[in-house]
Amino acid sequence: MLDSLRNIFIFDQKSPMIFTRPYFWGFFIIVFFLYSFLYRKKALRNIYLFAISYFFYYKTGGLFVFILLFATLSDYLIGHAIYRSKPVILKKLWLSLSVIVNLSVLCFFKYDYFFTDTVNRLFHTHFEVVTHAALWSNQLLGTHFDISKILPPVGISFFTFQTMSYAIDLYRGLVKPVKNPVDYAFYVSFFPQLVSGPIVRASQFIPQLYQEYTLTHYEFGLSVYMILKGLFKKMFIGDYIAINLIDRVFANPVSYTGFENLMGLYGYSLQVYCDFSGYTDIAIGLALLMGFKLPQNFNSPYKAKNVGDFWKRWHMSLSSWLKDYLYIPMGGNRGASFFTYISLTTVLVFIVLISGKLWLAVIFLPAIAVIWVLTRFFPGLKLTISTNINLMMTMLLGGLWHGASWTFVIWGGLNGIGLVIYKFWKKISPYENSSHRLATLWKIFLTFNFITFTRIWFRGESMQGTFDLLNQVGNNFGWDHVPVMVFAYWKVFLVMLLGYVLHWLPYATKDKLLNWFVDTPIYAKILLCALVVFIIYQSMSAGLQPFIYFQF
């Protein structure tokens, strides 16, 4: 009995609390049951959900809960300082402090090994990464933590982006500071979306803290539907094809034919969508049950007709964040700003450090000089060049946010190039404004295949692995073995086909399915839930797959 109670309240790194574990659903049933006694009292409701959210994060990320607490308190205090300051220069100083604190913590945990390895390689030093908190704990308490291993806190990028957007919006005068620190902490830590989004703006969420709880018949049906849809996408489709094809192929591309590599790549495009959108579907459903509305994060992205359209549909909360807090401050489509040069310098420094070649900095200087001359002496080109640089910097920084490696730089760069090329192409494309079905299918086909092609670098475990995959597809496709491979992987391909068919269903068909589910009586909903859980259970393999975006 004591061991069981201990397991409930003690963090276990091997068994974090995630949506795909039965433990979470037992936790949520208890949370929701107690919530039913508190939901009418707004202040008590907010305090309760704040406490539950911190417990959830502790069970998911352990003592990193203190990093969450630090990020929350620092931006809460800085936010009030920004609001109270009258001189603009003082507001800018407080905002700068917020950005520096947030990015310093984020960079420490995401890029600690990268910077240490880079310094050692460039200057032939022998620095080592040391977790001082673990060292002090071992010395004082006799624990046995690995002091050479620094793991990033779960969801650090997501809650950091939320706290940064709060400070920036305060500076811009778009929101007013939250008076109650518990309310602000609840906004930052709300557990359904805490570790993988969607990223929620204060202007979207804070007003909901002071509204009466409502849950209509339609909203209840929608919330249950979203949860079931998310679990089905993540566990039945995403995890199944990952375990039975994708992970094997990407771990060792040369052991598989080009056909298997290509199918693994198409499978990964489906997996990453099902995995990430599945999480946010569950988060949106859980939040709605508790009376809170989270923003839509995915809108059938593989129906996009061009790269720009894709990024308006994929991870919409991050795309809009990058647009509002990176692209527009750089000048957007109005030209370059001082922030453009800061971003350009940041990207170039990362590229030099990733390559480990200091002489690359010498090559970049003439390139920057050429761009400066063109914008200086050819005014007609200035706006075009500046806008496209802003676009490229946004995508490259988005790539570096995922990780400091050549693979993510290339992935971000390819998407940036795709956006820039499309901007020129749409001006001369003969079918850009065509609504003909064949033209629409052709645009969707091209966009989907381009996005899938870039995923070689997003998923590839190394640069060598990406080259191996490309080489197998180009030089060792194995046409003679395709029938055998189709037969061998028929279950995987059937699940992939199901996933893509469901994704490409017309919106009207999806709406009819949703409305049908909403209108079913409660006993039918219970039976359908049991059926979906049974189907998912039948597809499960040993060991649960973590959500892909937990690592970011």
Distance CA 414, CA 425 (A): 16
Distance CA 525, CA 76 (A): 42
Q: What angle do CA 418, 420, 426 make, to 5 degrees?
A: 90
Q: Is the dihedral of CA 289, 56, 316, 333 positive or negative?
A: positive
Distance CA 378, CA 246 (A): 49
Tokens of 171: 């500076």
Residue in 32, 53, 428, 88 with CA at minimum distance from that of residue 223? 32
Number of C-beta neighbours around residue 296 at 10 A: 13
Residue 270 near residue 287, CB atoms below 8 Å: no
Distance of CA 44 to the CA centre of its chain: 31
Residue 53 near residue 190, CB atoms below 8 Å: yes
Distance CA 176, CA 203 (A): 9
Which residues are annotated as catalytic? Answer: 402
Residue 386 near residue 331, CB atoms below 8 Å: yes
Distance CA 321, CA 299 (A): 16
Distance CA 206, CA 194 (A): 15
DSSP secondary structure, 461-474, as one string: SSHHHHHHHHHHHH
